[in-house]
Amino acid sequence: MSEAAKVGIIMGSQSDWPTMTHAAEILEKLGVPHEVKIVSAHRTPDRLVEYAKTAKERGLHVIIGGAGGAAHLPGMAASMTPLPVFGVPIQSKALSGQDSLLSIVQMPGGVPVGTLAIGKAGAINAGLLAASVIALHDENVAKALDDFRAAQTDAVAEEPVD
């Protein structure tokens, strides 16, 4: 998007993109300017520190962090920024994402990370939550979010069909 990013989407590796693309897609649909970066807590820690510590001054309002396995990325980002951070557990091969979920959700008191569902649903909902934060001060995003929710409601049939 050409407008300055308001939401940052970060992930630990390229292999997380098939999940995290869903957060980007929903933000795009709602007209929320965002950026997407690979920022590994384990392999690029200096990149993570720089990203998290400069996020607010660069104009971001929210960070969505997707991570699998040990899943330190969202928590580490949250420890270095005052911005809200939403964590998306990536479905792992070993434990189907349960390891990722527990790693993200078990933050110590004082360093919050809003933790979403494992995988695609979590990425979509992280995008919607981020848009909800942006909508507090952006009428265009608020309208897009209202329209999105109305369309979801309208898509639900009253009675099942065969």
List of residues 6+ apart from 26 with CB closer than 8 A: 124, 127, 128, 131
Per-residue pLDDT of the chain (162 residues; tens, 9 = 90+): 458 999 999 999 999 999 999 999 999 999 999 999 999 999 999 999 999 999 999 999 999 999 998 899 999 999 999 999 999 999 988 899 999 999 999 999 999 999 999 999 999 999 999 999 999 999 999 999 999 999 999 999 999 999
pLDDT for position 1: 45
Query: Alpha helices of 80-138 — where are they, by DSSP H?
Result: 98-105, 120-135
Tokens of residue 144, six digits: 């897009």
The predicted model scores a pTM of 0.95
Nearest to 20 by CA among 151, 99, 124, 155: 124
